[in-house]
Structure 1
Amino acid sequence: MTLEERLLIEQQCARLVALYANLNDAARWEEVAALYAEDGRMARPTAPDDWIEGREAILAAFTARPPRTTRHFCSNIVIDVLSEDEAVGESAMLLFTVDNASKAGSFHDRFVRTGEGWRFAERRGSLTF
Structure 2
Amino acid sequence: MDSIERLLIERDCTQLSVDYGRLVDFGQAAKVAELFTDDGVCELSAGRFEGIEQIRAFFEKRQGQTDVVSRHVMTNIAVEVQDADHATGLVYLTFYRVVWTGEGPAPLGPPSFVGSYADSYRRTPEGWRFESRIGSTALKS
Give TM-score, length-normalised by structure 2. Answer: 0.84
Match of 1:96 in 2: 96
Answering whether residue 137 of structure 2 is matched by residue 127 of structure 1, we say yes
* Counterpart AA for 1:37: T
Match of 1:72 in 2: 72
Aligned length: 126
Match of 1:117 in 2: 127
* Counterpart AA for 1:26: F
Runs of 4+, deviation exceeding 4 Å: none
Give the drift of 1:25: 0.6
Larger radius of gyration: 2
Match of 2:81 in 1: 81
SS at match of 1:97: strand
Higher relative contact order (CA 8 A, sep 6+): 1
RMSD: 1.4
State how far apart, in whole Å, the 1-side matches of 2:129 and 2:7 are.
Answer: 16
Match of 1:7 in 2: 7
State how far apart, in whole Å, the 1-side matches of 2:81 and 2:35 are.
Answer: 18
Match of 2:53 in 1: 56
Give the drift of 1:61: 1.1
* Counterpart AA for 1:11: R
| Deviations 1:36-78, CA, capped at 9 Å, x for gaps | 011111001x25xx42111111010122346121011000000
Give the drift of 1:4: 0.6
State how far apart, in whole Å, the 1-side matches of 2:27 and 2:43 are.
Answer: 18
Match of 2:106 in 1: none
Stretches of structure 2 that go unaligned for 5 or more consecutive residues are 100-108
State how far apart, in whole Å, the 2-side matches of 1:63 and 1:3 are.
Answer: 38
